[in-house]
Chains A and B, each alone.
Chain A
Amino acid sequence: MPLWVPVRSQVAPAACLSPSPEAPRALSLFSSSSVFPLPNSQCLVWRTDLLVISSFRMAEQPYMVASDSETTGDDKSQSAFHDLAIGIEVGTSKCSIAVWNGAQVELLRNTRKQKAMRSYVMFKDDTSTGEVPSGGASNKTAYEEKEILSGSAIFNMKRLIGRADTDPIVHASKNLPFVVQTLDIGVKPFIAALVNNVWRSTTPEEVLAIFLVELKTMAEVQLKRPIRNVVLTIPVSFNRFQQIRVERACTMAGLHVLRLMPEPTAVALLYAQQQQQQQQSLHGSMGSGCEKVALIFNMGAGYCDVATTATAGGVSQIKAMQGCTLGGEDILKNVLYHLLPNFDSLYSNRDMNKIRSMGLLRIAAQDAIHRLSTQSSVQINVDLGDGTKMQRVLHQSEFEEVNRNVFEICEKLIKLCLADSKLAAEDINDVILVGGCSRIPKIRSLVLGLCKKEKEYEGMDALEAAVTGAALEGAVASGITDPSGSLDMLTIQATPLSLGIRVHGGGFVPIIQRNTAIPARKSMIFTTTQDGQTEALIVVYEGEGKMVEENHLMGYFKVTAIPLAPKGTAEISVCMDIDAANTLRVFAGAMMLGTDRANSPFFEVRMPTLDDAHGWCAQALVKTHGSALDLTTIPKELQPQKVQ
């Protein structure tokens, strides 16, 4: 599999053999004591090709040398070991890693002492190391922003991963310095980085995997142990395809995803912990305390999320979540088009000089936006290098005007989220603003205004809250307990998107509504649309649209052995199950007429069964089968889920 090649070559050497200046230290750390004592008399054994954690008593065998053929044992021994998961937030622009250090969460720093590292992967021909791409967390070279924008680096992978080439976000990414090509047929977009004056293709997953390998290596060196389990934060609006792509990238990087956590829920967990500690110090007891409701607004470079949470006694219940692909990138794009109205036509031919000047303009615009958070106007002076110079003043009012659409969407999201959670502004105790864009004055005033609050919740770092929450979740989910009780916590997650099936006429019937607590299991009874119909197609979708074509197709299968009956009388039970790890399973089957017994064994299908959001699969199904295998709903009062 070609996908694996660059990653595989990176995994092992990065940890022990790569010629980077940091590596010899890493190697010596491990090799000077090849066995690390770990809790529960478990030991860590260092092998030449991979790390194995095995469980044995130290007295009997201080270390072992495993042969290369024994490569399957690590999964078994892993399960017995409490491998503390680290928290990773891979942002569109920046990323960070955090870990529970036994008393609190600590953010790791790279060798440049940065806690927030730029998310990108540089593809460069380097004769000494071969053609190994390197990411922004790398301790080798700190690439300057100018180089990152030269076309040789891929960034914004979080905006591209798991999207088809028909997606408007992919189309909007075409103004980035690297190549994004679309054919508009609903397949993966083509992306490529400039290496030796050649556009070399790659994929968003591959780029993310390379980047994660680097993060993993960095963490392993600092924590002096192998890292396997991670809790990764994701935007609320990520559909299951995007989640699977992220998981796949983690697998490529040798990481096991313990949990993909929507960013605001990670913040909610941190909030729950802070509330718990506050109440403990006030009352000195572990009482469940009074309930506090918070609205969390998170806006970074790529995505905007809103969530409401009710917290008491260390338990945080996610009431509702809303999210969309909207962030600093869109704000930047609006400003770029404002500064240079013919931006698209100027940079469509991608010659090297144009790419360079586009990069310079991007840097200048970004800088101006940052400064506008504290100043009412900024001076932009940029020499685009191709003989043109831009000199002008950008006022805050101008900035707010060109980004009016962004603010409107933010407002809509907050209103929707409040309505979903059945809360009024008065019910909210705290407003938590996180993410880079939450520093924009207009956004602050907008969120606080909608929640009728004078000021925001203090005590959270806007850029570190999500990753801190992820590390907390990592510790909780790894089974770590803390004597002071600061890990007696829980976030009850909710499904951000509805899940349901297609019914006759192309309508979408949700079986698990959005904002349902996870783990969840819901079932519904459907019936046939044809006389004597013996088979029915279960077509599963995720989304909020009333019609299936507005939603994401997850997969489909056929329920057989429906007893012969006039249309509308046979009963087909469809049950959806989401477990704590967020795995979706669909159970379906026909019932014997007039009984509560299955007519034949049910089908159990893990979703999604499709590899990508292939909308044309649905079209093909309709074309081939028409409505012969369609299902329809039965009256509400006959549905089981009303009172179960």
Chain B
Amino acid sequence: MDASRLCNSITLQMSAASSAGRRSNSSSFTCRAHQARMGRPAAANFYQVLALEPENAGADAVKRAYRSLALRHHPDVCPPSGKEEATRTFVEIQRAYEILSDPVLREEYDHQLGLVGSAKQRDQRDEERRRVYPKEVWMEQLRELKSRSMSRMGKKKLECL
């Protein structure tokens, strides 16, 4: 019963979004999919979903916000009548948490939001990058460059011959 309703609501949202000529930020997954592909974030950003300020939302704050919201919105703790709504809300909260709790994805997302730019933030980001991309990654890149130059050298040799 709720399945068909869900499907209906999706179809409705999709047609509503397209007929109004704007992008819906509701749970219409196909619309969202395309938003992402166009590199455009949804209207309610992930910080807003978790009720956080981007500037002072450390890893702990993100976790805390996620947990307290989960305790309120997870379908397990909601009355049966509100389960469908709760599921939608929770999926949204979960998605926000997944992005914001992952340093790499969060940086990418911040970039999309246009939050990144100031010198201070860039410093923070570099710090983060050093942490996330350890020596191995850097070495790997170096090796790749070396092998490329080797093959170039090889080609040159062939040409000389």
| Cross-chain contact B63 with A291 (CB below 8 angstroms) | yes
In the complex, chain A residues whose CB is within 8 Å of the CB of B33: 523, 525, 573, 596, 640-641, 644
| Cross-chain contact A314 with B29 (CB below 8 angstroms) | no
| Cross-chain contact B87 with A598 (CB below 8 angstroms) | no
| Cross-chain contact B67 with A643 (CB below 8 angstroms) | no
A476 at the interface (CB under 8 A from B): yes
In the complex, chain A residues whose CB is within 8 Å of the CB of B68: 288, 313
Q: Which of A101-109, A442-450, A600-608 lies on the face that meets chain B?
A: A600-608
| Contact flag A517-B71 (CB < 8 Å), given A79-B80, A476-B76 | no
With beta carbons under 8 angstroms apart, the residue of B36, B64, B76 that contacts A580 is B76
| Contact flag A490-B75 (CB < 8 Å), given A521-B29, A573-B30 | no
CA distance A520 to B27 in the complex (A): 12
With beta carbons under 8 angstroms apart, the residue of A490, A523, A577 that contacts B76 is A490
In the complex, chain B residues whose CB is within 8 Å of the CB of A176: none
A587 at the interface (CB under 8 A from B): yes
Q: Which B residues, 82 to 136, have Cβ-Cβ distances below 8 Å to chain A?
A: 83, 86-87, 90-91, 94-95, 99, 105, 108-109, 112
In the complex, chain A residues whose CB is within 8 Å of the CB of B36: 640-644
| Cross-chain contact B109 with A643 (CB below 8 angstroms) | yes
A492 at the interface (CB under 8 A from B): yes
In the complex, chain B residues whose CB is within 8 Å of the CB of A523: 29-30, 33
CA distance A477 to B74 in the complex (A): 11
Q: How far is the CB of B36 from chain A (nearest CB, A)?
A: 5
A315 at the interface (CB under 8 A from B): yes
CA distance A521 to B14 in the complex (A): 17
CA distance A638 to B18 in the complex (A): 21
In the complex, chain A residues whose CB is within 8 Å of the CB of B80: 79
Q: Which A residues, 555 to 604, have Cβ-Cβ distances below 8 Å to chain B?
A: 573, 575, 577, 579-580, 585, 587, 591, 595-598, 601-602, 604
In the complex, chain A residues whose CB is within 8 Å of the CB of B91: 519-521
Q: Which B residues, 31 to 55, have Cβ-Cβ distances below 8 Å to chain A?
A: 31-37, 41-42
B11 at the interface (CB under 8 A from A): yes
| Cross-chain contact A315 with B70 (CB below 8 angstroms) | yes
CA distance A602 to B76 in the complex (A): 28
Q: How many residues of A contact B (CB 8 A)?
A: 44
Q: How far is the CB of A639 from chain B (nearest CB, A)?
A: 8
CA distance A220 to B157 in the complex (A): 87
CA distance A136 to B27 in the complex (A): 49
In the complex, chain B residues whose CB is within 8 Å of the CB of A575: 29-30
Most chain A CB within 10 A, of B11, B36, B67, B105, is at: B67
In the complex, chain A residues whose CB is within 8 Å of the CB of B79: 479
In the complex, chain B residues whose CB is within 8 Å of the CB of A580: 74-76, 83, 86-87, 90
CA distance A259 to B145 in the complex (A): 54
Q: How many residues of B contact A (CB 8 A)?
A: 45
CA distance A520 to B91 in the complex (A): 6
In the complex, number of A-B residue pairs with CB atoms less than 8 Å apart: 113
With beta carbons under 8 angstroms apart, the residue of A492, A595, A639 that contacts B74 is A492
B77 at the interface (CB under 8 A from A): yes
A456 at the interface (CB under 8 A from B): no
| Cross-chain contact B63 with A598 (CB below 8 angstroms) | no
A167 at the interface (CB under 8 A from B): no
| Cross-chain contact A596 with B34 (CB below 8 angstroms) | yes
Chain B 2-46 interface 0/1 with A at a Cβ cutoff of 8 Å (1 = within): 011011001100100010000100010111111111000110000
A579, closest chain B residue (CB) = B87
Most chain A CB within 10 A, of B70, B75, B91, is at: B91
Q: How far is the CB of B95 from chain A (nearest CB, A)?
A: 6
Q: How far is the CB of A78 from chain B (nearest CB, A)?
A: 10
Q: How far is the CB of A156 from chain B (nearest CB, A)?
A: 32
In the complex, chain A residues whose CB is within 8 Å of the CB of B63: 291, 312
| Cross-chain contact B74 with A490 (CB below 8 angstroms) | yes
With beta carbons under 8 angstroms apart, the residue of A492, A521, A604 that contacts B7 is A604
| Cross-chain contact A602 with B10 (CB below 8 angstroms) | yes
A488 at the interface (CB under 8 A from B): yes
In the complex, chain A residues whose CB is within 8 Å of the CB of B41: 643
In the complex, chain B residues whose CB is within 8 Å of the CB of A579: 75, 83, 87
B111, closest chain A residue (CB) = A643
| Contact flag A312-B87 (CB < 8 Å), given A587-B29, A598-B14 | no
CA distance A597 to B77 in the complex (A): 35
Most chain A CB within 10 A, of B31, B77, B108, is at: B77
A589, closest chain B residue (CB) = B30
| Contact flag A315-B76 (CB < 8 Å), given A580-B87, A643-B41 | no
With beta carbons under 8 angstroms apart, the residue of B4, B30, B42, B95 that contacts A598 is B30
Q: How far is the CB of A635 from chain B (nearest CB, A)?
A: 11
Q: Which A residues, 605 to 644, have Cβ-Cβ distances below 8 Å to chain B?
A: 606, 638-644
CA distance A218 to B29 in the complex (A): 47
| Cross-chain contact A640 with B37 (CB below 8 angstroms) | yes
CA distance A587 to B8 in the complex (A): 12
| Cross-chain contact B70 with A492 (CB below 8 angstroms) | yes
CA distance A106 to B150 in the complex (A): 71
CA distance A525 to B18 in the complex (A): 19
CA distance A145 to B76 in the complex (A): 41
CA distance A595 to B11 in the complex (A): 15
In the complex, chain B residues whose CB is within 8 Å of the CB of A479: 79
| Contact flag A602-B7 (CB < 8 Å), given A580-B76, A596-B33, A643-B105 | yes
| Cross-chain contact B4 with A604 (CB below 8 angstroms) | yes
Q: How far is the CB of B71 from chain A (nearest CB, A)?
A: 6
B108, closest chain A residue (CB) = A643
CA distance A90 to B32 in the complex (A): 43
Q: How far is the CB of A112 from chain B (nearest CB, A)?
A: 35
Chain A 516-547 interface 0/1 with B at a Cβ cutoff of 8 Å (1 = within): 01011101010000000000000000000000
Interface positions of B (Cβ within 8 A of A): 3-4, 6-7, 10-11, 14, 18, 23, 27, 29-37, 41-42, 63-64, 67-68, 70-71, 74-77, 79-80, 83, 86-87, 90-91, 94-95, 99, 105, 108-109, 112
What are 26 A-B pairs with beta-carbon distances under 8 A?
A79-B80, A288-B67, A288-B68, A312-B67, A315-B67, A315-B70, A315-B71, A476-B76, A490-B74, A492-B74, A517-B94, A519-B87, A573-B29, A573-B30, A573-B33, A579-B87, A580-B86, A580-B90, A585-B6, A587-B7, A591-B30, A596-B18, A596-B34, A604-B3, A643-B108, A644-B33
Interface positions of A (Cβ within 8 A of B): 79, 288, 291, 312-315, 317, 476-477, 479, 488, 490-492, 517, 519-521, 523, 525, 573, 575, 577, 579-580, 585, 587, 591, 595-598, 601-602, 604, 606, 638-644
Known A-B contacts: A291-B63, A476-B76, A580-B86. Give 12 more (CB < 8 A). Answer: A288-B67, A312-B67, A479-B79, A490-B70, A490-B76, A491-B76, A519-B91, A523-B33, A579-B83, A596-B34, A598-B30, A602-B10
**Which 5 pairs from chain A and chain B are nearest by CB?**
A640-B33, A596-B34, A580-B75, A604-B7, A315-B67
